[in-house]
C-alpha cells in the first residue's frame, strides 16, 4: 500500500515535470481600474523604413494615453534575429529607438519567424533584461492584468508552421528547445487550453506572431486555424493579436465574437496588397503601411485604435460587457 503510494508520488512528479507549465506574470491595472497599452510588430531595422517615425508617434500616443505597457508581436530584429546577447542590434533597433519617456514601460514580447533565424536563447536571456529593464521576451507565457480584468496568452507560433521545417529554403532556424516538435506543440496547446479554460478574467486576449486570419501577403496561417483557433472559439477569446503581415488590419468574424487584429507595421511595409477579403463584411480595416495599435480597457469596456506613421487614427473599434453581478 505504502509502496504504491510512493510509486504514485514519484511517477506523478515525473509526469508533471515533463509538462512545462507556462510562466505567469502579473501587471496591476491603474487605481481607477483601467489598463492601456500599445501593440507593435515587425520592427527592428535600426530605425530604417520609418521605424523611427513609428517610434516617435508611439511616444506621443503613449504619453497621451499614459500607457501601462507595450506588446510586441514579434519579428523583433531583422533580418535574422540576434546573433547573441552582445549583438549591437539590441541597442540599435530597440533601446536607442523607443526612447520616449512614455515608452519606458514593460515590453511583453514574443518571437517571430525572423527571430528564429538567429540565436533564440539570446532574446530570451536575462542578460538582455539587465541591459534594458523593459525587455521581457519568452516563447509562451501568461500575463494576468487587473486583478482578473484581462488575461493575455502569449503563444509561440513559429514552431506551428510546417514550411519552416520542411521547406526552409536558404534559411537556418534555431530549433533548440523545440524538438521533438510534436511534443512541444502538444504541450503548448495543452497549456494554452487549460489556461483559457481556467481563466476568470473579464477579457481574454491571445497574442502570437503569425496570423490566423489575414488578407495580407502571408494570408491565413493554416496550422493555427486548425490547432489554435478551436480553443479561441471554445473559451470565448475576445481578441487575437498578431504581426507577421506588415500592415494594420482588423477582421471581425461572422461565426464567433473573436476580433482578429494585425499590428505588423513597425517598420518595412507597403507590400502592395489591397486587403481583399472573401467576406467584405468582416473586413474593418486594411492599411498597407506603417503604424501601430492602442488598446484601452476597463472591466466593462474595450477600445481599440489603429494609428498611421503620422499618429493619425485610421480606425476605431469598441465593445462592452456587462459586469457579472455577484449573487
Annotated binding-site ranges for Fe cation: 42, 75, 78, 113, 209, 244, 246
**Which is closer to ligand NAG, CB of 49 or CB of 141?**
49
Binding mask 240-269 for ligand NAG (x = CB under 6 A): -----------------------------x
Q: Please state, in angstroms and rounded to a whole number, the distance separating the CA atoms of residues 314 and 305.
A: 7
Give Cα separations from 14 to 10, 17, 185, 187 (angstroms): 6, 5, 19, 15
- Which three cell numbers, joined as nine digits, stand for 36? 492601456
CB of 291 to ligand NAG, least distance (A): 9
**Which is closer to ligand NAG, CB of 134 or CB of 246?**
246
**Which is closer to ligand NAG, CB of 11 or CB of 310?**
310
**Which is closer to ligand NAG, CB of 139 or CB of 244?**
244
Catalytic residue among 27, 114, 210, 218: 218
**Which is closer to ligand NAG, CB of 56 or CB of 237?**
56
Binding mask 268-297 for ligand NAG (x = CB under 6 A): -xx------------------x--------
Binding residue (CB under 6 A) for ligand NAG from 37, 43, 49, 98: 49
**Which is closer to ligand NAG, CB of 185 or CB of 314?**
314
315 catalytic residue (yes or no): no
Binding mask 57-86 for ligand NAG (x = CB under 6 A): ------------------------------
Question: Which residue sits closest to ligand NAG, CB atoms considered?
Answer: 50
CB of 45 to ligand NAG, least distance (A): 10
3-state secondary structure the chain: CHHHHHHHHHHHHHHHHHCCCCEEEEEECCCCCCEEEEEECCCECCCCCCHHHHHHHHHHHHHHHCCCEEEECCCCECCCCCCCCCCCHHHHHHHCCCCCHHHCCEEEECCCCCHHHCCHHHHHCHHHHHHCCCEEECCCEEEEEECCCEEEEEECCHHHCCHHHHCCCCCCCCCCCCCCHHHHHHHHHHHHHHHHHHCCCCEEEEEECCCCCCCCCCCCCHHHHHHCHHHHHHCCCCEEEECCCCCEEEECCCCCCCEEEEECCCCCCCCCCCCCCCCCCCEEEEECCCCEEEEEECCCEEEEEEECCCCCEEEEEEEECCCCCCC
CB of 308 to ligand NAG, least distance (A): 6
Count of residues that bind ligand NAG according to CB under 6 A: 6
CB of 84 to ligand NAG, least distance (A): 29
CB of 203 to ligand NAG, least distance (A): 32
- Which three cell numbers, joined as nine digits, stand for 126? 536575462
Binding residue (CB under 6 A) for ligand NAG from 38, 50, 250, 260: 50
Q: Please state, in angstroms and rounded to a whole number, the distance separating the CA atoms of residues 140 and 191.
A: 10
* 101 closest CA partner among 50, 138, 58: 58
Residues numbered 27-46 forming contacts with ligand NAG, rule: CB under 6 A? none
**Residue positions forming the annotated binding site:** 42, 75, 78, 113, 209, 244, 246
Binding residue (CB under 6 A) for ligand NAG from 185, 309, 311, 314: 309
Residues that bind ligand NAG (CB under 6 A): 49-50, 269-270, 289, 309
Would you name the residues annotated as active-site residues?
Answer: 218
Amino acid at each position: 500500500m505504502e509502496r504504491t503510494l510512493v510509486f504514485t508520488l514519484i511517477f506523478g512528479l515525473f509526469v508533471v515535470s515533463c509538462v512545462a507549465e507556462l510562466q505567469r506574470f502579473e501587471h496591476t491595472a491603474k487605481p481607477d481600474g483601467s489598463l492601456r497599452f500599445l501593440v507593435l510588430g515587425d520592427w527592428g531595422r535600426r530605425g530604417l523604413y520609418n521605424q523611427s517615425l513609428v517610434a516617435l508617434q508611439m511616444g506621443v500616443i503613449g504619453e497621451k494615453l499614459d500607457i501601462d505597457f507595450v506588446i510586441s508581436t514579434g519579428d523583433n530584429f531583422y533580418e535574422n534575429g540576434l546573433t547573441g546577447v552582445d549583438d549591437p542590434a539590441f541597442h540599435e533597433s530597440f533601446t536607442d529607438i523607443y526612447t520616449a519617456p512614455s515608452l519606458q514601460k514593460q515590453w511583453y514580447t514574443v518571437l517571430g519567424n525572423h527571430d528564429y533565424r538567429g540565436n533564440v536563447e539570446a532574446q530570451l536571456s536575462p542578460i538582455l533584461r539587465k541591459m534594458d529593464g523593459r525587455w521581457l521576451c519568452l516563447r509562451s507565457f501568461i500575463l494576468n492584468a487587473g486583478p482578473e480584468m484581462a488575461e493575455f496568452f502569449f503563444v509561440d507560433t513559429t514552431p506551428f508552421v510546417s514550411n519552416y521545417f520542411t521547406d526552409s529554403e536558404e534559411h537556418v532556424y534555431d530549433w533548440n528547445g523545440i524538438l521533438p516538435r510534436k511534443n512541444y506543440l502538444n504541450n503548448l496547446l495543452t497549456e494554452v487550453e487549460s489556461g483559457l479554460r481556467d481563466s476568470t478574467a473579464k477579457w481574454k486576449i491571445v497574442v502570437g506572431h503569425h496570423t490566423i486570419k489575414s488578407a495580407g501577403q502571408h494570408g491565413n496561417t493554416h496550422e493555427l486555424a486548425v490547432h489554435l483557433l478551436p480553443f479561441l472559439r471554445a473559451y470565448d477569446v475576445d481578441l487575437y493579436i498578431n504581426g507577421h503581415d506588415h500592415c494594420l488590419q482588423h477582421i471581425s468574424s461572422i461565426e464567433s465574437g473573436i476580433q482578429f487584429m494585425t499590428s505588423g507595421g513597425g517598420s518595412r511595409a507597403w507590400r502592395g496588397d489591397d486587403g481583399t477579403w472573401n467576406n467584405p463584411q468582416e473586413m474593418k480595416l486594411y492599411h498597407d503601411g506603417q503604424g501601430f495599435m492602442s488598446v484601452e480597457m476597463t472591466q466593462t469596456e474595450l477600445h481599440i485604435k489603429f494609428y498611421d506613421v503620422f499618429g493619425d487614427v485610421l480606425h476605431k473599434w469598441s465593445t462592452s460587457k456587462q459586469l457579472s453581478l455577484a449573487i
